[in-house]
Amino acid sequence: MKRLIPTLPLLVALALVAGACTSTPEAAPDSTTSPTIATTQPTTSATTSQAPTTSTTEATAAVTIDGDLPEALLVAITAVVSWQRDDRSDAPALPAGLAAHLAANPLSTSAAVSVTGTTATIEGGDIAVVETDTGDVLLAADEGDGWRIVGADPGVGPPWYGEQPRMVMVIGSDARPGGDQQTHRADSIHLLTANPSDGNGTIVGFPRDSWVSTPYGSMKFTSLMAGRGPQVMVDKVVDTWDLPVEGYVVTGFKGFEDLMRSLGNLPIDLPRALPSQPWWPAFRAGEQTLSPQRTLEYSRTRKGVPGGDFTRSANQGLVMLAVLRLLQMNDIADAPEIVSVLLDHAWTSLTPTDLIQLAATIHALDPEEIENVVLPGRLGRAGLASVVRLTAEADEMLADLADDGLLESNK
């Protein structure tokens, strides 16, 4: 059941991710619906290889791709399908991991293939999701040097949506409306990992008051972003725990609420009741649907809550899982516009290739196979400030993520 509305106001898993570009993709169809296959006018009718010059060698198999998509994108698709149909054809320019994956899990091919797809223009280039008439899915991106196929779900075997594990930092800024959401303190800090081929992953919450050593002196982790930007948060995690973090997604209170307003009311099962706060009422436990404003309030509640910020960070992980379930009610073909809408309300260091791969990953994950944890720590003091000192177990947990994005308890 699709949840899209005409303007496709959707959130990409609270993370997955930077200033939107409003230009229109070349010859792109209305991205709210999959375009109709152009059966009477093939947009591209091309083979990717020529018959050998000698008369004694059999010609490579020709493939014709037909669909209402940009011509350059159809050429890129033709190259991949031709190579899959006849490996004597010139090998297309693919990520090494994708080429190996398709060699082991080939696409369904024929002499004539019809495709549908959606495209979007975002900051840094164009992105697309393409579906063939045989049910295969291809991801594509053009970052200024031409369209390139960057992911695939061949329908047999698992999908390939980038090298695993995927790791992204999702940061919520405490900037109020009008403030610079990238240079205020980090109100929430999470590391998201995902393995699309296995459907699993981990949400790791960092207590915002974690006391950390940085090139700027020791401070609370929440303060590291203030005046410096989100990249220093990524650098800290990479340098300290040697994790292959790809980049960040950051938004503030207003951006978060606007994203949730775009997505709609959020069905969620709350494991515990939360007390009222000075500015909003209490939350009951159990299944319910939260408005965008109540979703933000739930994500911010910590006063009077057992466990304080540890519990609040875990609750924010629950919101992420609920958003994932809601997004999975949409089609993978909606991914380009989902990314575009997300970038209206967030900032990211991720590339268009990263973004379309991560958006597709949403449809490959099993929410029941994603572990939601908060790093353990002890309350302490640094001068007059109340801080959290991460334990040795926290270091072990982060080190455990490095190879496959999973904690030992979820392997």
Q: Say if residues 337 and 20 touch (Cβ distance below 8 Å).
A: no
Q: Look at residue 53 and tell me whether its pLDDT is greater than 60.
A: no
What pLDDT, on the 0 to 100 scale, is given for residue 366? 97
What pLDDT, on the 0 to 100 scale, is given for residue 264? 85
Taking the domains of the chain in order of start, what are their residue ranges?
A: 166-410
Question: Sign of the C-alpha dihedral, residues 366, 367, 368, 373?
Answer: positive
Strand-pair partners of 340: none
Q: Are strands 200-206 and 186-195 parallel, antiparallel or unpaired?
A: antiparallel
- Other Cβ atoms closer than 10 A to 296: 21
pLDDT of 173-203, one tens digit each? 875 566 566 656 788 999 999 999 999 999 9
Mean pLDDT calculated for residue range 124-141: 97
Band of pLDDT at residue 156, cut at 50, 70 and 90 = confident
CATH superfamily of 166-410: LCP protein (3.40.630.190)
SS (H, E, C) the chain: CCCCCCCCCCCCCCCCCCCCCCCCCCCCCCCCCCCCCCCCCCCCCCCCCCCCCCCCCCCCCCCEEECCCCHHHHHHHHHHHHHHHCCCCCCCCCCHHHHHHHHHCCCCCCCEEEEEEEEEEECCEEEEEEEECCCCEEEEEECCCCEEEEEEECCCCCCECCCCCEEEEEEEECCCCCCCCCCCCEEEEEEEEEECCCCEEEEEEECCCEEECCCCCCEEHHHHCCCCCCHHHHHHHHHHHCCCCCEEEEECHHHHHHHHHHHCCEEEEECCCECCCCCCCCECCEEEEECHHHHHHHHHCCCCCCCCHHHHHHHHHHHHHHHHHHHCCCCHHHHHHHHHHHCCCCEECCCHHHHHHHHHHHHHCCHHHEEEEECCEEEEEECCEEEEEECHHHHHHHHHHCCCCCCHHHC
What pLDDT, on the 0 to 100 scale, is given for residue 184? 61
Mean pLDDT calculated for residue range 353-365: 97
C-alpha dist (Å) from residue 165 to 168, 346, 364, 402: 10, 23, 13, 8
64 or 262, which is more confident?
64
What pLDDT, on the 0 to 100 scale, is given for residue 263? 82
Q: Look at residue 88 and tell me whether its pLDDT is greater than 50.
A: yes
254 or 26, which is more confident?
254
Q: Look at residue 15 and tell me whether its pLDDT is greater than 50.
A: no
Mean pLDDT calculated for residue range 298-304: 93
pLDDT of 216-236, one tens digit each? 999 999 999 988 999 999 999
pLDDT of 392-404, one tens digit each? 999 999 999 999 9
Mean pLDDT calculated for residue range 254-282: 91
Mean pLDDT calculated for residue range 152-170: 95
Mean pLDDT calculated for residue range 313-338: 95
Lowest mean pLDDT among 39-43, 377-381, 383-387: 39-43
- The predicted model scores a pTM of 0.84
pLDDT of 285-296, one tens digit each? 999 999 999 999
What pLDDT, on the 0 to 100 scale, is given for residue 117? 97
What pLDDT, on the 0 to 100 scale, is given for residue 158? 94
Q: Look at residue 77 and tell me whether its pLDDT is greater than 90.
A: yes
- Average pLDDT, rounded, for the chain: 85
Percent share of the chain, pLDDT over 70? 84
What pLDDT, on the 0 to 100 scale, is given for residue 173? 81
Band of pLDDT at residue 116, cut at 50, 70 and 90 = very high
Q: Look at residue 46 and tell me whether its pLDDT is greater than 70.
A: no
